Amino acid sequence: MILPKSNRLTPEQLVEVTAIVTEFGCQIQPIVGAVRTIYAIVGDERDELMINRIEGLSYIDRIDRIQSPFKLMDRRSDLANGSLTVGAVTLGRELFVIAGPCTIDPKNANYFYETAQAVNEAGAHMLRGGVWKPRTNPYTFQGDVKSLDILMEGARRTGLPADTEVMEEAHIQLALDAGVTSLQVGARNALNYSLLRAIGRAIAQRRDVVVLLKRSMHMGTLNEFISAAEYIAAFGNPNVILCPRGTAPGLDGYRNHPDESITPLLKEKTWAAVVVDPSHSVGKAIYVPAAALAAVAYGADGLCLEAHVSPSHGIGDDPKQALTPDVLASTIKRAKQLWTLRRDASSDVTVN
Ligand code: PEP
Ligand code: MN
């Protein structure tokens, strides 16, 4: 990672630096921040000759030599000094909450609008709703592009930014054109590297857009998870939020094996925000409030909660998974209180 002395390289300086790295078979990827731009060296950047030549340039401050499989998402990367603001919230300054139904029912838009209102009143910051849905059974409802308009109408009515899952390359531009703020990569696609690349490419210049990257239920290692985020960031936009959502096989009684406990481990390795999804993890609304609080206790920056005004009318995941508005509101309230308590407590105690 190249850090210039000024906030960014001039076009002439960029040409000079690019010429050097090209000689060594590498490329330059600018990562444009609000205040300064830093430059990732893409390729094998270990050649000391290349490093010395770049460091010798009068306008270069230094080169971050991070030996990491995910050098952009690595906690030691210069990107760790940035902050991510989504809608009204800067992550890390308050608990960030995404909520909404699993899937939008295009035939009953009012359920979505009513749920959106309940989500807003409960104190959430982003409205989720599935337009395209990955389903185990190919004969069940697979989603409907018509729901994209319903999602955006719910976002307009509440003033909340919208989150939806994109399952294939064609969905990305449709979602962006509609005004979706958060592209969700579902657990089943978290290892789909061509989709991750396509998303990275599409949002490279869109710092107003974030990616909510679910952990695959089959991802054993944290390196796999963070490297999936690196695939997206490598195109120039590092706004990737990591979302643990439970792994397979499920713990007897829970839908998946709850994994909120990986939060502090992720935070040791990466600067990325962690937004835990307890809904898909435990899979039943009765267990979600405790799992949500556990996630906050482990240091999560946010929560992603499934909710519906009338869960028995929900489509997509098991209706028993969705929180009713009153439980959603009490869960968010308690989770925010715990988040504040934890923040205040951790300023008294030095953890690592
Ligand atoms: C969802 O968020 O509704 C969903 C399908 O989640 P996951 O990809 O984590 O299963
Ligand atoms: Mn769901």
Alpha-carbon span 94 to 305, nearest angstrom: 16
Taking the C-alpha atoms of residue 85 and residue 255, their distance in angstroms, rounded to an integer, is: 32
Atom 10 (ligand 1) nearest CA = 187
Q: What does the mean pLDDT of the chain come to?
A: 95
pLDDT in tens, 15-37: 999 999 999 999 999 998 878 89
* pLDDT on residue 46: 84
Q: CA 237 to CA 243: how far, in whole Å?
A: 18
Task: Report, as an integer, the average pLDDT of 158-173.
Answer: 98
Q: How far is the CA of 249 from the centre of ligand 1 (A)?
A: 16
User: Taking the CB of residue 227, how many other CB atoms lie within 10 A of it?
Assistant: 18
Pocket test for ligand 1, best of 102, 192, 280 (most atoms within 8 A of CB): 280
- Closest protein CA for atom 6 of ligand 1: 186
Share of residues in the chain with pLDDT > 70 (%):
98
Q: SS3 of 118, please?
A: helix
Closest CA to 199 of 224, 165, 225: 165
Q: 240-243 and 210-214 as β-strands: parallel, antiparallel, unpaired? A: parallel
3-state DSSP percent of the chain in helix, strand and coil, to 5: 40, 20, 40
Cβ 187 under 6 angstroms from ligand 1: yes
What pLDDT score does 66 carry? 82
Residue 17 exposure: Cα atoms within 13 Å on the Cβ side: 30
| Residue 281 identity (one-letter amino acid) | S
What does the pLDDT look like over 33-70, one tens digit per residue? 878 899 999 888 889 999 999 999 999 999 988 888 89
Is the predicted pLDDT of residue 347 greater than 80, yes or no? no
Residue type, 248: A
Whether the CB of 244 sits within 6 Å of ligand 1: no
Of residues 96, 98, 95, 99, the one with CA closest to residue 308: 99
What is the strand order of the sheet 162-165 is part of?
Answer: 240-243, 210-214, 182-185, 162-165, 126-128, 96-100, 302-306, 275-276
Distance 331 CA to ligand 1 centre (A): 20
What is the reported pLDDT for 50? 96
Q: Domains for the chain: give ranges and CATH numbers.
A: 2-63 (3.30.70), 78-347 (3.20.20.70)
Q: Which of 2-11, 62-71, 150-159 has the lowest mean pLDDT?
A: 62-71
Average pLDDT over residues 267-295: 98
DSSP 8-state class, residue 270: B
Q: What's the pLDDT band for 136 if we cut at 50, 70, 90?
A: very high
User: For 218-273, what is each residue's pLDDT tens digit?
Assistant: 999 999 999 999 999 999 999 999 999 999 999 999 999 999 999 999 999 999 99
| pLDDT tens-place string over residues 295-341 | 999 999 999 999 999 999 999 999 999 999 999 999 999 999 999 99
| Gap from CA of 304 to ligand 1 centroid (Å) | 10
pTM (2 d.p.): 0.95
Q: Relative to the CA of 316, which ligand 1 atom is closest?
A: 3
Kindly give the number of the ligand 1 atom that is closest to the alpha carbon of 190: 8
Assess whether the C-beta atom of 214 lies below 6 angstroms from ligand 1.
yes
CA of 190, nearest ligand number: 1
Q: Is the CB of 255 under 6 A from ligand 1?
A: no
